Chains A and B, each alone.
Chain A
């Protein structure tokens, strides 16, 4: 394949070679094939995606939209400037490029529909809204290519479902369109090719792998050969972490949750003797606050930044030369992707430092490093497309123009997540979208979708299309309250960001909490606003729902492997070696594929610790299930605690036969009753009710009163459960709650394993492996009492555990 001279010269002038994967992408385009490129960071991935477009536009006149570029990020600007705008300018090409996101002014959006640019950069949400316009058919007819950047960020989420449906629609409007996916290094490119392809037909997709890239240098922080017993976010090492930041040009400190971000930032600040400029970035900060940090970072004004996943996919990481992971990495792919953000040059090793929070996390970090070295990544859990997303999509299609149900069904089925959708379920979704999907035919006369004489369905009114556009999208934030700095209306208080209503509900005037790296004190409440001033003293910490990822199954396997390979122990700190060795003597080490259960008495209570290695959500659900069964057996359970590695529960009476408690037989029935009444399902229902268009989103800054005030999703949930237990949205909420929140599949596998391969050890006292779990119990139970009592308790626990005789 020949590059057009204008492009070849550009490479030559910079002394660059066109890379093989870039040529392969051009070849695939020339053959009219879809393509998936997987490449390490720094491999010129985005440019490789655009090169065929530039080559085409450089040699052939094209009127109208040629290429759509879809990114998971709203902040597209910097990366695209470097990878697209600069090359175009330097090549002297006359190509129009524009962005379209929620922030684009409406007059430009309107103009884009009539006179689109040749390359349009957008997000899945904005694309969906664009496709709902009646002009979409004309605008999209000539589209030649669609490029999906960071495809791995989409595939297994509702955003991915939405994007996949939009791709199916685009393909119908522009049958010759080539789909191009760009991805970081992923475990299973063939599965992703299937996700990308029309009709999930991977033979239509050219899979291009960029090879090379230096192996990342991953280091695990150990100080004085010691790793703490408890904790899970690496805060103990703040001083050492700060010293590493001082030695780096720009360091990103990744943490696993937003709450931990606040704590770690405060710890680092306390150790920041050189007063280096460091920042904090997480999803609950106001967009302006986030943009400011991003801008400071891009301008080279920061030396360190504490961040959650909100920055993961952020922006140009050009100058970052060190990634620090506080706490366990939770997955090899995640570690590799985060590490890959450091250092944009492909042939230099990226530097990463993991700070384990406790000894299990040390093993996990060790295992993740092994996995990255072995190139073993975590497979992505593909799942069937969500029905609430489909319901939203169907109405969006109707907003663009009338459709034949049969034709739309075929189109939807060509999207990989919906390949298995039956016509019956599709019709159920149509019924829901048209009149709410109730058994009672109450809403026939208000129907949203009307059947025309020719059999096509259309939207009843233009007002409904506007309403749909205001409410579309698949990201639903928890109900939040604004943090307003300075009091009083109209006196120009500054908005710092948002906290979840759940947390705000626990705050009283005079309470203080951590936010955006500062201690804030509540001065008052006003509707959806929390007014604050700078505070001091001991803050509460914001609690954010979610954001906590379980350890992957593969990584868990590797952790078990390490425990069972004493040959590797000499590579570990003395602390960890001793911990494992004594565990092996006083109890047992978990095997490669068993479930170790320990029982022992302590202070008049009976403890049961099950090492399932199934991740926090599954263990959480296990704890609920086991204590429920203990209750029925009259064992007087008092509580339980879950981690990624184990579940520990305690009771007044001993468990003699744990095997019976782990019976997998009636799991579904027992969980059903519990889950239906749990906040998990209510939270899941709120999300599907918003995505599915049953209730409206709260529009920022709009406080509704009186008749327009929406009905709370909890009230609707209760009424539906009573009157329409088979309703589509209840089923959708179930599916979500089962997967994300409770991980029932992983729990079921755990129970099966426990049933066939349980090792039950009765102990005279607590074992070394049980200590991290029991320390968590201590912390939660004591709560309000002094730290010294906690310390004393921790000390006694550890002394007991390490007693060999």
Chain B
């Protein structure tokens, strides 16, 4: 068991891949898989390597195996666009189907993927409550209840001794936790960006996994 931190009265285990495991609920949370992002670009004639979905699903399978999760919650933007599920390669479709069949699989709907789940199994929810947590795609600054969300792709950007370092991070506010994007072709937004600050509704901390260690950076 690696690093843990407490949030909303429960213990959570962050993974270096950007997934978050809740041992008490045997639940693995991931956000912003953006599956089939490469093929979305390919439709416009920009042929990005067609390996992003396979890569992302491989990482997800690894995280499930590592943690022994029984439930997976995808916090929205699981596909890059509406047409994504139809463009999945057969192998990726099969791997995803196995997971949605064998696990308790929740799709929280995001901006891009409302129609996604129908063909792939799993439950489709706009928002959900699980234990102490409200789950939604995009943080709601007006809701004071403890909440897990995605959407913003937070990353930590620091400049130290002339080096520019950027890493995916969890963005933690007093009652909100925003997960980093999990997809292999997803970029990020600086956690210091006003949009993330507003969404967190309070002082922000960046939680960064460096190997097995959890590092905390208060955001000024």
* Binary contact readout B173-198 vs A (1 if CB under 8 angstroms, 0 otherwise): 00000000000110100000000000
Write the nearest CB–CB distance from A721 to chain B, whole angstroms: 10
* Binary contact readout B35-58 vs A (1 if CB under 8 angstroms, 0 otherwise): 001111111111111111001000
Among A250-258, A417-425, A432-440, the stretch that binds chain B is A432-440
A467→B45 contact, CB < 8 A? yes
In the bound complex, residues from chain B placing their C-beta under 8 Å from that of A707 are 40, 80-81, 112
A436→B47 contact, CB < 8 A? yes
A436→B42 contact, CB < 8 A? yes
In the bound complex, residues from chain B placing their C-beta under 8 Å from that of A443 are 39, 42, 47, 50
Q: Is B142 an interface residue (CB 8 A)?
A: no
CB-contact partner of A442 in B55, B89, B159, B185, under 8 A: B89
Bound CA–CA A727/B45 (angstroms) = 17
Bound CA–CA A722/B50 (angstroms) = 12
Q: Is B162 an interface residue (CB 8 A)?
A: yes
B51→A505 contact, CB < 8 A? no
Bound CA–CA A715/B187 (angstroms) = 9
Q: Is A709 an interface residue (CB 8 A)?
A: yes
Find the B residue at minimum CB distance from A460.
B45
Contacts between chains A and B (CB distance < 8 A), count:
82
Q: Among residues 234 to 266 in chain A, which have CB atoms less than 8 Å away from a CB atom of chain B? A: none
In the bound complex, residues from chain A placing their C-beta under 8 Å from that of B42 are 436, 442-443, 446
A723→B49 contact, CB < 8 A? yes
In the bound complex, residues from chain A placing their C-beta under 8 Å from that of B185 are 711, 715-716, 719
Find the B residue at minimum CB distance from A727.
B49
Find the B residue at minimum CB distance from A695.
B46
Write the nearest CB–CB distance from B5 to chain A, whole angstroms: 27
Bound CA–CA A435/B184 (angstroms) = 21
Bound CA–CA A505/B159 (angstroms) = 7
A435→B47 contact, CB < 8 A? yes
CB-contact partner of A467 in B43, B44, B47, B51, under 8 A: B44
B187→A719 contact, CB < 8 A? no
Q: Is A448 an interface residue (CB 8 A)?
A: yes
Find the A residue at minimum CB distance from B112.
A707
Q: Is A590 an interface residue (CB 8 A)?
A: no
CB-contact partner of B48 in A464, A467, A694, under 8 A: A694
B48→A711 contact, CB < 8 A? yes
Chain A facing B: main interface SS = loop
* Binary contact readout B74-86 vs A (1 if CB under 8 angstroms, 0 otherwise): 0000001100000
Chain B facing A: main interface SS = loop
Find the A residue at minimum CB distance from B153.
A709
Residue of A442, A463, A508 ringed by the most chain B CB atoms within 10 A: A442
Given contacts A442-B89, A715-B185, contact A693 B51 (CB under 8 A): no
Number of B interface residues in the complex (CB < 8 A): 28
Number of A interface residues in the complex (CB < 8 A): 34
Q: Is A319 an interface residue (CB 8 A)?
A: no
Q: Is A712 an interface residue (CB 8 A)?
A: yes
Residue of B43, B45, B162 ringed by the most chain A CB atoms within 10 A: B45
Q: Among residues 670 to 720 in chain A, which have CB atoms less than 8 Å away from a CB atom of chain B? A: 693-696, 706-707, 709, 711-712, 715-716, 719-720
Residue of B49, B55, B164, B185 ringed by the most chain A CB atoms within 10 A: B49
Write the nearest CB–CB distance from A445 to chain B, whole angstroms: 9
Residue of A437, A711, A720 ringed by the most chain B CB atoms within 10 A: A711
Write the nearest CB–CB distance from B87 to chain A, whole angstroms: 9
In the bound complex, residues from chain A placing their C-beta under 8 Å from that of B184 are 715, 719
In the bound complex, residues from chain A placing their C-beta under 8 Å from that of B43 are 446
B164→A506 contact, CB < 8 A? yes
Find the A residue at minimum CB distance from B162.
A506
Write the nearest CB–CB distance from B104 to chain A, whole angstroms: 30
Residues of B near any A CB (own CB < 8 A) = 37-52, 55, 80-81, 89, 111-112, 159, 162, 164, 184-185, 187
30 contacts between A and B (CB under 8 A): A436-B47, A436-B48, A436-B50, A438-B50, A440-B51, A440-B89, A442-B39, A442-B42, A443-B50, A448-B47, A464-B45, A505-B159, A505-B164, A508-B159, A693-B46, A694-B47, A695-B46, A696-B46, A707-B112, A709-B187, A711-B37, A711-B38, A711-B41, A712-B187, A719-B49, A719-B52, A723-B51, A723-B55, A724-B51, A727-B49
Residues of A near any B CB (own CB < 8 A) = 435-438, 440, 442-443, 446, 448, 460, 463-464, 467, 502, 505-506, 508, 693-696, 706-707, 709, 711-712, 715-716, 719-720, 722-724, 727
Q: Can you name 5 extra interface pairs (CB under 8 A) apart from A443-B39, A448-B45, A694-B46?
A: A435-B47, A437-B47, A446-B45, A706-B111, A707-B81
